[in-house]
Amino acid sequence: MTEDEHRQVIDELDEMIRDARTLMDRFEAGGMDEAMAGDYQQLLDLHARAVGDQNAHTMAMLAADQ
């Protein structure tokens, strides 16, 4: 991937991470994290994957610069 492609993916993942965090906050505020524990866990998993993928793209982009 080119640096621009990595940056685009990183930016899109950043948006996904922010959206997931917002939804997690809403789940927690409404007690849905306990009432819908399975769905909340899926949301946590999605957030963790997005953060991991973003980190991987950042590291790949930095490695390509060297």
Q: What is the dihedral of CA 24, 30, 36, 40, to 10 degrees?
A: 10
pLDDT at 29 (0 to 100)? 97
Distance CA 31, CA 65 (A): 45
Write the single-letter amino acid at 66: Q
3-class state of residue 57 by DSSP: helix
pLDDT at 51 (0 to 100)? 98
pLDDT in tens, 37-49: 999 999 999 999 9
Report, as ranges of residue numbers, the positions in the chain whose pLDDT lies below 70: none
pLDDT at 28 (0 to 100)? 97
pLDDT at 64 (0 to 100)? 87
